[in-house]
Amino acid sequence: MPKIHSVRKREGDIVDFTPQRITNAIYRAAVEVGGRDKRTAESLTEKVVNLLEQQTPADKIPTVENIQDIVEKVLIEEGHAKVAKAYILYRAERARLREKRAEQRAVPSSNIPWSKLWRILDWAVEHHFHTVEQLNERIRQGEISQIVGESEAFYHEDVENAANLIAERKEALRMVIIAGPSSSGKTTTTIKLAERLTRYGMRLVTLNIDNYFYDLEMHPKDEFGDYDFETPRALDLDLINDHLSRLFKGEEVMIPFYDFKTGTRQLAQTPMKLAPNEAILIDSLHGLYPDMTRNIPPEKKFRLYIEPLLQLKGPDGDYVRWTDIRLIRRMLRDASHRAYDPTKTLLHWHYVRASELRNIIPYVNTTDYIVNSAMPYEMPLYKAKLFNDFARWAETYADDPLRSDAYERASRVYTLLGSLETIEDDSVVPENSVIREFIGDSIYEY
């Protein structure tokens, strides 16, 4: 047992010292550079703990910074320079993110698709749901059906525009990539896009990237010990690129199969070969990640990005955060389709978001087109389903220093939902709506 029992966080909170978090951090850094040896991570952790105990006076509590400094030292001295670099870069990135939050978004990000946002904002103002007050008034006036119809039409127009752009390049394209963060609506949008492209004579063959996950035991974990499926390094990127290159040469490849129940991958399970007039369709969180398709020339790829870019201003004057919309969507989807406790979704979201900021958001403006999947009516609809849960979470995690992220998100969403009128009856949502991907009863099979 370690002699050190507590650690002081940056905010001053004192929490239990858990060596497993050091192991997780080292392993995560190793995965970033292609390593997958957990025993080595555990061995390095022992050295870190021993050195920490030697350097920490008996009457002192080490800080997070103390521990991270020692991790860097041990990695370098033990000959793991590449892992040390990945760890240092990750640490520096977390520091920058903290600084950005402290500055309260003083400088606009170059990753934000401003031209797209202006069009959505103009549309929201024109239809009188640019603010919570305007949306509430339309709901009180009994205009729910109109709101739903206008919202769905705007989304479908976006999908149609994307299909037209792809069709214009169909002679040169061999791959259509649909990317976006968790619960952005990729699956439904992919189905709708494929329907439209079929009308243009394009034959699309889906390559399920989920089958390229490494075995679960080789996945990195987050600081709470949860397996991380959100990082692109959880995927066998080398095998993906090898298969894509061979498919485009006309060769047959054997696609693996990933069993989520057992957390294991079986290699060479399903044969796949492309006809000369066929293109590959990929729906993936990390479709924009450069290493995902590094062997494929840019002119052969069409990259589509999906995000709920809602332009709805809350009573505090701030716009609704897209990540909060997707958090709720994932809660509902996980509960509906996977019998997953929404509380676990909330507690894991900090890591989902961290991975997005590292591996998805930086590539938003490398896309060929962006589809907005947000529906102005969805937050009032979600209020009827999760308002009481957010109230409970905001109270439960208020004084828990280990769950500060969960508290911040829960209290923010609780306040927002409390300011909205409620849409109790979800039968107003069309059966082919992207929202059905999350609340259930869609005409599509997921």
DSSP string covering 206-252: E--GGGGBPPGGGS-B-TTS-B--SSGGGB-HHHHHHHHHHHHTT--
- Are 329 and 424 within one domain? yes
Q: Is residue 202, in this structure, part of any structural domain at all?
A: yes
Q: What is the pLDDT of residues 48-90, one digit of tens each?
A: 889 888 888 887 888 888 888 888 888 888 888 888 777 777 7
- Are 278 and 156 within one domain? yes
Using the 3D structure, point to which of 62, 87, 103 is the last residue of a domain. Answer: 103
- Are 291 and 373 within one domain? yes
- C-alpha 156/C-alpha 174 separation (Å) is 24
Q: Is residue 155, in this structure, part of any structural domain at all?
A: yes
- Are 86 and 161 within one domain? no
What is the mean predicted confidence (pLDDT) over 418-428?
A: 96
- Are 137 and 72 within one domain? no
Q: Is residue 393, in this structure, part of any structural domain at all?
A: yes
Helices in 360-396 by DSSP H: which ranges? 378-396
User: Residue 215: pLDDT above 70?
Assistant: yes
What is the mean predicted confidence (pLDDT) over 198-220?
A: 89
- Are 43 and 153 within one domain? no
Q: What is the pLDDT of residue 227?
A: 72
Q: What is the largest CA-CA distance in the chain?
A: 74
- Are 236 and 378 within one domain? yes
Q: What is the pLDDT of residue 225?
A: 64
Using the 3D structure, point to which of 103, 119, 150 is the last residue of a domain. Answer: 103
The owner of tokens 């090898």 is 242
User: Residue 148: pLDDT above 80?
Assistant: yes
CA distances from 297 to 176, 235, 294, 302 (A): 13, 21, 8, 11
Residues 6+ apart with CB under 8 A from 302: 165, 166, 169, 173, 175, 176, 177, 368, 369
Dihedrals phi, psi of 270, to nearest 5 degrees: -125, 125
Q: Is residue 446, in this structure, part of any structural domain at all?
A: no
- Are 257 and 357 within one domain? yes
Q: Is residue 316, in this structure, part of any structural domain at all?
A: yes
- Are 178 and 38 within one domain? no
Q: Tell which residue, 439, 414, 420, 413, has the closest CA to residue 428.
A: 439
Q: Is residue 306, in this structure, part of any structural domain at all?
A: yes
The owner of tokens 């007050």 is 133
Q: What is the pLDDT of residues 251-309, one digit of tens each?
A: 999 999 999 889 999 999 999 999 988 899 999 999 999 999 998 999 999 999 999 99
Q: What is the CATH number of the domain that holds 338?
A: 3.40.50.300
Q: Kindly report which listed range (227-236, 321-330, 378-387, 393-402) carries the lowest average pLDDT score.
A: 227-236
In this prediction, what percent of the chain has a pLDDT beyond 70? 93
Domain that holds residue 260: 129-439
Domains in the chain, number: 2
Q: What is the pLDDT of residues 333-371, one digit of tens each?
A: 988 777 789 999 999 898 888 888 888 998 998 999 999
What is the mean predicted confidence (pLDDT) over 166-180?
A: 93
- Are 197 and 79 within one domain? no
What is the mean predicted confidence (pLDDT) over 125-141?
A: 95
Token pair for residue 167? Answer: 């069709």
Q: Is residue 111, in this structure, part of any structural domain at all?
A: no
User: Residue 234: pLDDT above 60?
Assistant: yes
What is the mean predicted confidence (pLDDT) over 396-424?
A: 94
* Residues 312 and 379: beta-carbon distance below 8 Å: yes
Question: Exposed, middle or buried by CB within 10 Å (0-12, 13-18, 19+), for 176?
Answer: buried
- Are 235 and 272 within one domain? yes
Higher pLDDT, 155 or 228: 155
- Are 279 and 413 within one domain? yes
Q: Is residue 123, in this structure, part of any structural domain at all?
A: no
